[in-house]
């Protein structure tokens, strides 16, 4: 690895550790933005420029800002308040994630690339477009994902809708009489 790649890997690990360890939720979201921007730079180095741009626009620009908005809305910046019903979870969590890292590194270490790989064309939109918009390739999957996003938007609106105020006409008759008498 070159020096820039090592620096990017160190920044990725460091910002991820900040995301999972800091006690302030706003700091965690900001560290996540830093992580996503470094990942986008890594994508450019790995010949995936269109995915890098999508990463910056969708993840760092939209998703994390939505997270920040909800953190502010719920006044949930203090991440570790409240009673911990499962004390002593830290050590099993650390052991489990270290074991998971070992298994994943072992499994990925067994991967071997083919002798003569194909051409990526830098991962530009001109290279990805024919794959995305050809019916024999991924066109129908793209349409389905668009429909999924529509359903998710409607679901979010329905979920956060406040409870309806009961209109006057549907109230019980006795209550109505009382109101009229007054």
- Interface with other proteins in residues 97-116 (CB under 8 A): 97-98, 100-101, 104-105, 108-109, 111, 113-114, 116
Using CB atoms within 10 Å of the CB of residue 32, give its burial: 0 to 12 exposed, 13 to 18 middle, 19+ buried.
buried
Contact predicate 122/47, CB 8 Å: yes
Count of residues near other proteins by CB under 8 A? 89
Which 81-100 positions form the footprint of other proteins (CB under 8 A)? 81-86, 89-90, 92-94, 96-98, 100
Binding mask 2-31 for other proteins (x = CB under 8 A): ---x---x--xx--xx-xx----x--xx--
Q: Does the footprint of other proteins cover residue 1 (CB under 8 A)? A: yes
Binding mask 31-70 for other proteins (x = CB under 8 A): -x--xx--x--xx--xxx-xx--xx--xx--xxx-xx--x
Which 115-154 positions form the footprint of other proteins (CB under 8 A)? 116-121, 123, 127-128, 131-132, 137-138, 141-142, 145, 148-149, 151-153
Question: Nearest distance from residue 136's CB to other proteins, in Å?
Answer: 13
Q: What is the DSSP string of 59-126?
A: IIIIIHHHHHHHHHHTT--BTT-S--SSTT-HHHHHHHHHHHHHHHHHHHHT----SS----GGG-HH
Q: Which of 77, 55, 58 is nearest to 68 (CA)?
A: 77
Question: Nearest distance from residue 5's CB to other proteins, in Å?
Answer: 7
Those residues whose C-beta lies under 8 Å from the C-beta of residue 120, and which sit 6 or more positions away, are 47, 48, 127
């Amino acid at each position: 690895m070159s020096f820039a790649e090592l620096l990017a890997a160190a920044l990725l690990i460091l910002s991820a550790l900040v995301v999972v360890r800091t006690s302030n939720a706003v700091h965690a979201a900001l560290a996540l933005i830093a992580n996503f921007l470094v990942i986008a730079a890594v994508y450019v180095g790995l010949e995936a420029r269109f995915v890098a741009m999508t990463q910056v626009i969708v993840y760092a620009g939209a998703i994390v800002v939505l997270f920040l908005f909800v953190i502010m809305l719920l006044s949930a910046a203090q991440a570790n308040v409240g009673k911990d019903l499962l004390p002593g979870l830290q050590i099993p969590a650390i052991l489990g994630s270290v074991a998971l890292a070992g298994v994943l590194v072992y499994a990925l270490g067994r991967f071997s690339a083919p002798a003569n790989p194909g051409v990526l064309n830098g991962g530009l939109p001109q290279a990805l477009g024919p794959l995305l918009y050809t019916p024999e390739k991924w066109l129908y999957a793209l349409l389905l994902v668009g429909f999924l996003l529509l359903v998710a938007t409607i679901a979010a609106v329905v979920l956060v809708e406040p409870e309806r105020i009961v209109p006057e006409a549907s109230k019980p008759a006795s209550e109505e009489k009382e109101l009229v008498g007054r």
